[in-house]
Amino acid sequence: MNRLSTVEQRQRMRQHFAGSVCLSPANVWDPLSARIAERAGYTIGNLSGSVASHTILGSPDLMLLTLTELAEQIRRITRACSLSILVDADNGYGNALNARRAVEELEQAGASGIAIEDTLPAQFGNPNATRGLIPMDEMVGKLRAAVSARRDPTLMILGRTAGLRNGGIDVMVERAKAYEAAGVDGIVLVGTRRIEEVEAAHAAVKLPMVCGLPDPSITSEQLASLGVRLLQGGHLPLAAVLKALHDTYEYQFSGGARDGSGMSQQVASLAEIESFIDTDSYDDLTSEFLE
Amino acid sequence: MNRLSTVEQRQRMRQHFAGSVCLSPANVWDPLSARIAERAGYTIGNLSGSVASHTILGSPDLMLLTLTELAEQIRRITRACSLSILVDADNGYGNALNARRAVEELEQAGASGIAIEDTLPAQFGNPNATRGLIPMDEMVGKLRAAVSARRDPTLMILGRTAGLRNGGIDVMVERAKAYEAAGVDGIVLVGTRRIEEVEAAHAAVKLPMVCGLPDPSITSEQLASLGVRLLQGGHLPLAAVLKALHDTYEYQFSGGARDGSGMSQQVASLAEIESFIDTDSYDDLTSEFLE
Amino acid sequence: MNRLSTVEQRQRMRQHFAGSVCLSPANVWDPLSARIAERAGYTIGNLSGSVASHTILGSPDLMLLTLTELAEQIRRITRACSLSILVDADNGYGNALNARRAVEELEQAGASGIAIEDTLPAQFGNPNATRGLIPMDEMVGKLRAAVSARRDPTLMILGRTAGLRNGGIDVMVERAKAYEAAGVDGIVLVGTRRIEEVEAAHAAVKLPMVCGLPDPSITSEQLASLGVRLLQGGHLPLAAVLKALHDTYEYQFSGGARDGSGMSQQVASLAEIESFIDTDSYDDLTSEFLE
Amino acid sequence: MNRLSTVEQRQRMRQHFAGSVCLSPANVWDPLSARIAERAGYTIGNLSGSVASHTILGSPDLMLLTLTELAEQIRRITRACSLSILVDADNGYGNALNARRAVEELEQAGASGIAIEDTLPAQFGNPNATRGLIPMDEMVGKLRAAVSARRDPTLMILGRTAGLRNGGIDVMVERAKAYEAAGVDGIVLVGTRRIEEVEAAHAAVKLPMVCGLPDPSITSEQLASLGVRLLQGGHLPLAAVLKALHDTYEYQFSGGARDGSGMSQQVASLAEIESFIDTDSYDDLTSEFLE
């Protein structure tokens, strides 16, 4: 169990953002997903707000998760692996004082990077429309508050903007510039689909960026040259887990063989399970301290 | 979101144990596994101690999980579904007073049944040998304490014995009888492999029983006739999830298509995901209270 | 440890509100304050939002406390005593869906009554002014959502209005009527100072009410005749605790006698402490289950 | 809110132990007690196991508190002040692997020092007798495991021995020497009453020590010369708080003036309360980020 310290995890994330490469972080949400992602070679993990809501509450991404629940989940993840974790802190859970508290809690829980977003929560009377953006000066106040709350200077604070879907490229660019001026360490672009959008943001700010871009014809090298350091993917790992759960319960409930023989190709072996739960490390600890 | 109340969940479990049928509970550990198991048709879920350790801590089953962590996980599960949950409370987390507290916490968290086991924790100087049993009179005190701590009389308390692997059939039978006399509502037999073992326990106690029995030639009807009400399976759902995680992260890390096209047969569809996270119910709530 | 069940605690609170008497609840915030209040004779306790913020976070009442933290505190309190607890859930921690979640969490934690308030959180650009009220139809949606979230029909949901200080008596009355129509079980009036204010509310709604009224010339009988069932006092117990802490640390830090002899009149005796921590009950449990 | 970082808090505690002075730490248990102690001048606080049990659970010190609950309380305290906190982790909550986890959790929560004790939990069949000591080699294994679990080398791990009341001075000395050899940073002596006891321990080990010593004729200078760096007092602050609670609830329940006028000498003023809850700091934050 030679794990990186929290500061080392943060330094690794910061060094990556200071570099010139664009990586895809692993989309993780609990100790085992993070552990297995790390074993696959990942060094950076991302706990997105939607996946956190789905997995902790079993609910859609409706800002129902509390800051305390998110921090507890970060603790569960950082306890189990060395991944540097970037976490979405929604819009900071309220006003600028709440955003400040969000940074305090998530820093304490071991996050390496925290993204705070400018999307309004669902409003009464207008729940299904585009949610709209938090007013610019209010959001800047939130991000300044978030930055001021940081204790460990290696922790990264990112400003996340949904400007693109709430006004278009100009709004996105305006927001990115304002958040850079507010002192954040990076910009997360929500909903980018075309390379021109990324180019516009890169032309406007010097900060490293994070975005998604499903179009497979755009290479990570192209994105890297535009300042993108993390390329967020979709929710493939969770979607795979949900199918595995569905198939297994259906199999078992409909009278599948009790020993699971009908699903032998779809399950991890005992050796793999023992590896994923770190059995060897615990055996070593047992030998060292209990014998 | 028409969910059963906690008392209704407990009544359903109790009625099942009072009946004459043997069911396999779903092996569940978090909101989404429980939700999907319920959708598949299950009414009873089981959070085993080992799976709780694996998923909450990412560790082997070494009694490192705290009672508070287990109770929090039960809350996460019962918040998200109507399954009646049977939970393993290890050996009660200490002495009889701790066992009492375990019942208070897990009852409060919404468990329908709580099993307390007679296995000793790993001891200094003898960590790898069979762990051995908690002395009989101490264990009886624990179970009496557990039963006395219950506030809702519909909650079931079960005595779980590892007597079979710590002395054989006679020890198992002796324990089962003593735990019945202590006032528990059912007996969980650990490690049963042959029908004769179940027969011996059934001949000795009148209580309903829970056990595992991998041998596929033994039918659940046979087990039902021997007083077995729940037949515990292995960890197939978790094993399937771990394989799904492994395959997905390997796929993505090794440069799989960014849109996940190479794994399209192995992931839940967007419609399925939305169903699993209860999107329709939340849409209804939004319409009802936010418009 | 013969404690009332949660349902019994709720029935007692509900019966009190259905009666004709006005009581002062104990202002409590943790296990020992609640335990000692109960020993003094109280049957109903009140965890106010401000005292919860002060004691859990050490901060002013700025809506920085999370729902999870509040629920955890309710669990700590209800674990330790039989008081029926009325808890302030601020404005429901967000929109109507959050208010719904607040009721689910606080009900699960054992609250007997939950008050949800119509005060806006501090807004950017206007932090120090009167905070203003949540728009009427939005607040009605929140309260309807809160009522719909209740699982145990004995749990009381109260609508709390700061209308008096945000518009005057007319606004307060209008709000009280609207909240009654939304289906709440009682109305909490914030900031009442004169009997006429209570009279106006009572003339407008049939629901039982809760308010503060520092003027000592107004008797609880008068208030009872106006439908007031709980008369909230100030924060005297916390103020006394803070002075005790201040005096003790000053005494000790400035070189007071190591045995505390200089403060002997200001501290509980060992026998009192043992009583407050329920030593006898635990001795009984030890005798019953560990010998 | 210029607070020391966790590492700075730990460095301050470590420097104190490396020095030549004996201080009395403040006995604290929650955000407000810690905040007020710090305002009185204290730099080091102590959360004892008994006070943690009393205040978090309202129970006697019977090892019923979970590690998770203790870590949460440490987070509440360290969130609110800059005190360097020494915390009692009982006997490590189980075997050496649990002791390891205790260090991981309490370090993560922000403790500056962690003491692990050699007292056995209450045993079945012998609950009221002296509890006895954990066997020497087992305890040494626990302490080695605890030391190995530390991530931040400035965090202090202390071995706490109840050898004096379980065998006398010789046992205490033997234990102190063994724990020093196991690699701890200091020794805590339980139950010392005479200076000879401290002298014996000091003659045997080079480590700095912590003890209680009610006899007022023994000066802290004497103790300092014997290697004692912290002199633990009794529970005066909690005893004062309990009396304040008792007096206030009795006053209010028996019909004391609603405005508390009869207790005006026994309560903190509004200005004091605002100071204790850090109102000025939050006003500054509000001005800085919300206007």
The pLDDT tens digits for A250-276 are 999 999 988 888 999 999 999 999 999
In chain D, what residues touch C35 (CB-CB under 8 Å)? 58
Percent of chain C topping pLDDT 90 = 91
Give the model's confidence band at A209: pLDDT under 50 very low, under 70 low, under 90 confident, else very high: very high
List the single residue in A with minimal CA-CA distance to C127.
Answer: A95
Cβ atoms of D193 and D173 within 8 Å: the answer is: no
The token pair that represents B110 in the structure block: 């919404």
pLDDT recorded at residue A1: 63
Q: Is a pLDDT exceeding 80 seen at residue B44? A: yes
Q: Is a pLDDT exceeding 90 seen at residue A124? A: no
Residue D156 neighbours by CB under 8 Å, 6+ apart: D10, D13, D14, D17, D86, D112, D113, D114, D185, D186
Q: Is C114 helix (H, G, I), strand (E, B) or coil?
A: strand
Give the model's confidence band at A291: pLDDT under 50 very low, under 70 low, under 90 confident, else very high: confident
List the single residue in A with minimal CA-CA distance to D1.
Answer: A149
ipTM over 0.90 threshold: yes
Give the model's confidence band at C233: pLDDT under 50 very low, under 70 low, under 90 confident, else very high: confident
Angstrom CA distances, C191 to C87, C122, C133, C233, D262, stand at 17, 18, 14, 11, 23
Give the model's confidence band at A240: pLDDT under 50 very low, under 70 low, under 90 confident, else very high: very high
Chains that touch C (3 or more CB pairs under 8 A): A, B, D
Q: Is B240 helix (H, G, I), strand (E, B) or coil?
A: helix
Give the model's confidence band at D3: pLDDT under 50 very low, under 70 low, under 90 confident, else very high: confident
Task: Provide the b/e sequence for A157-176 (b: ≥16 CB within 10 Å).
Answer: bbbbbbbbbbeebebbbebb
Rounded to whole angstroms, the Cα distance separating A283 from A277 reads 11
How many beta-carbon pairs under 8 angstroms link A with B?
A: 252
pLDDT 10s digits, D248-286: 999 999 999 888 889 999 999 999 999 999 999 999 999
The token pair that represents A170 in the structure block: 């100009």
Give the model's confidence band at B176: pLDDT under 50 very low, under 70 low, under 90 confident, else very high: very high
Q: Is a pLDDT exceeding 70 seen at residue B19? A: yes
pLDDT recorded at residue B214: 85
Interface test with C, best of D124, D236, D250, D265 (most C CBs within 10 A): D236
Residue C226 is inside which H or E element, if any?
Answer: none
pLDDT recorded at residue D18: 98
Rounded to an integer, the average pLDDT of D43-67 is: 97
Task: Please tell me which of the candidates C64, C67, C96 has its beta carbon nearest to residue A97.
Answer: C64
Percent of chain B topping pLDDT 90 = 90
Rounded to whole angstroms, the Cα distance separating C91 from B288 reads 19
Rounded to an integer, the average pLDDT of C41-57 is: 98
Instruction: Report CB contact under 8 Å: C216, D41.
Output: no
Cβ atoms of C209 and C188 within 8 Å: the answer is: yes
Q: Is a pLDDT exceeding 90 seen at residue B168? A: yes
The token pair that represents B100 in the structure block: 């009492």
Instruction: Report CB contact under 8 Å: C288, B144.
Output: yes
Task: Please tell me which of the candidates D246, D267, D272 has its beta carbon nearest to residue C272.
Answer: D246
Rounded to whole angstroms, the Cα distance separating D140 from D160 reads 11
Rounded to whole angstroms, the Cα distance separating A48 from D207 reads 47
Q: What are phi and psi of D112, to 5 degrees?
A: -95, -25
What DSSP designation does C265 have? G
Q: What are phi and psi of A145, to 5 degrees?
A: -65, -40
Cβ atoms of A127 and B290 within 8 Å: the answer is: yes
- Min Cα distance B11 → chain C (Å) is 16
Rounded to whole angstroms, the Cα distance separating D42 from B81 reads 49
Rounded to whole angstroms, the Cα distance separating D91 from D145 reads 12
Q: Is D9 helix (H, G, I), strand (E, B) or coil?
A: helix
Ramachandran quadrant class, D227 (left: phi over 0; alpha: psi -120 to 50; beta: rest): left
- Min Cα distance B183 → chain A (Å) is 32
Q: Is a pLDDT exceeding 90 seen at residue A89? A: yes
The token pair that represents A47 in the structure block: 């706990």
Percent of chain D topping pLDDT 90 = 91
Percent of chain A topping pLDDT 70 = 98
Interface test with D, best of B61, B97, B119 (most D CBs within 10 A): B97
Give the model's confidence band at B130: pLDDT under 50 very low, under 70 low, under 90 confident, else very high: low
Rounded to whole angstroms, the Cα distance separating A114 from A159 reads 9
Q: What residues are paired with A84 via a beta bridge?
A: A44
End-to-end CA distance of chain A: 19
Rounded to an integer, the average pLDDT of B261-267 is: 93
Give the model's confidence band at B263: pLDDT under 50 very low, under 70 low, under 90 confident, else very high: very high
Interface test with C, best of D78, D245, D266, D287 (most C CBs within 10 A): D245
Q: What is the mean pLDDT of chain D?
A: 95
Residues of A near C (CB-CB distance < 8 A)? Answer: 62-64, 66-69, 93-98, 101, 121-125, 135, 137-138, 141
Task: Provide the b/e sequence for D233-269 (b: ≥16 CB within 10 Å).
Answer: bbbbbbbbbbbbbbbbbebbbeebebebeebeebbbe
pLDDT recorded at residue D127: 65
- How many Cα atoms occupy the beta-carbon half-sphere of B179 within 13 Å? 34
pLDDT recorded at residue D122: 81
Q: Is A24 helix (H, G, I), strand (E, B) or coil?
A: coil
Quickly tell me which residue has 């490396």 as its tokens.
D18
Cβ atoms < 10 Å from Cβ of C153? 9
Provide the angle, in degrees to the nearest 10, between the axes of the packed helices D136-149 and D96-109: 40
Higher pLDDT, B130 or B47: B47
- Smallest CA-to-CA distance from D125 within B123, B140, B161 is with B140
Q: Is a pLDDT exceeding 60 seen at residue D225? A: yes
Task: Please tell me which of the candidates A108, A141, A288 has its beta carbon nearest to residue D289.
Answer: A141
pLDDT recorded at residue B259: 84
- Min Cα distance A39 → chain C (Å) is 33
pLDDT 10s digits, C238-284: 999 999 999 999 999 999 988 888 999 999 999 999 999 999 999 99
List the single residue in D with minimal CA-CA distance to C232.
Answer: D258
Residues of B near D (CB-CB distance < 8 A)? Answer: 62-64, 66-69, 93-98, 101, 121-125, 135, 137-138, 141
Rounded to whole angstroms, the Cα distance separating D74 from A201 reads 43
- Min Cα distance A281 → chain B (Å) is 10
Cβ atoms of C10 and C29 within 8 Å: the answer is: no
Q: Is a pLDDT exceeding 90 seen at residue A234? A: no
In chain A, what residues touch B247 (CB-CB under 8 Å)? 240
Rounded to an integer, the average pLDDT of B264-289 is: 96
Burial of A255 (0-12, 13-18, 19+ CB in 10 A): exposed
In chain C, what residues touch B151 (CB-CB under 8 Å)? 3, 5-6
In chain D, what residues touch C263 (CB-CB under 8 Å)? 236, 240
pLDDT 10s digits, D203-216: 999 999 999 998 88
Give the model's confidence band at A123: pLDDT under 50 very low, under 70 low, under 90 confident, else very high: confident
Of B2-16, B116-130, C228-242, D163-177, least confident by mean pLDDT is B116-130
Residue D87 is inside which H or E element, if any?
Answer: strand D84-88
Q: Which amino acid is at A116?
A: I
Percent of chain C topping pLDDT 70 = 98
Pairing relationship of beta strands B186-189 and B156-161 according to DSSP bridges: parallel
Q: What is the mean pLDDT of chain A?
A: 95
In chain B, what residues touch A257 (CB-CB under 8 Å)? 216
pLDDT recorded at residue D130: 60
Q: Where are the beta strands (DSSP E) in chain B?
A: 26-27, 44-47, 84-88, 113-117, 156-161, 186-189, 209-212, 228-232
Q: Which amino acid is at A103?
A: V
- Min Cα distance A205 → chain B (Å) is 26
Q: Is a pLDDT exceeding 70 seen at residue C188? A: yes
Rounded to whole angstroms, the Cα distance separating A170 from D284 reads 34
Residues found in chain C: 291
Residue D209 is inside which H or E element, if any?
Answer: strand D209-212
Rounded to an integer, the average pLDDT of C116-145 is: 87
The token pair that represents D153 in the structure block: 């080398």
In chain A, what residues touch C137 (CB-CB under 8 Å)? 124-125
What DSSP designation does D82 have? -
pLDDT recorded at residue A3: 86
pLDDT 10s digits, D98-157: 999 999 999 999 999 999 999 998 888 876 656 799 999 999 999 999 999 999 999 999
Instruction: Report CB contact under 8 Å: B97, C148.
Output: no
Instruction: Report CB contact under 8 Å: B124, D141.
Output: yes
Number of H helices, E strands in chain A: 12, 8
- Min Cα distance C77 → chain A (Å) is 19
Q: Is B106 helix (H, G, I), strand (E, B) or coil?
A: helix
Q: Is a pLDDT exceeding 60 seen at residue C93? A: yes
The full DSSP string for B6-52 is HHHHHHHHHHHHHSS--BPPEE--SHHHHHHHHHHT-SEEEE-HHHH
Cβ atoms of C233 and C22 within 8 Å: the answer is: no
Instruction: Report CB contact under 8 Å: A100, D289.
Output: yes
Instruction: Report CB contact under 8 Å: A241, B244.
Output: yes
Q: Where are the beta strands (DSSP E) in chain C?
A: 26-27, 44-47, 84-88, 113-117, 156-161, 186-189, 209-212, 228-232
Quickly tell me which residue has 């997360």 as its tokens.
A188
Residue D103 neighbours by CB under 8 Å, 6+ apart: D89, D114, D146, D149, D150, D155, D157
pLDDT recorded at residue D284: 95
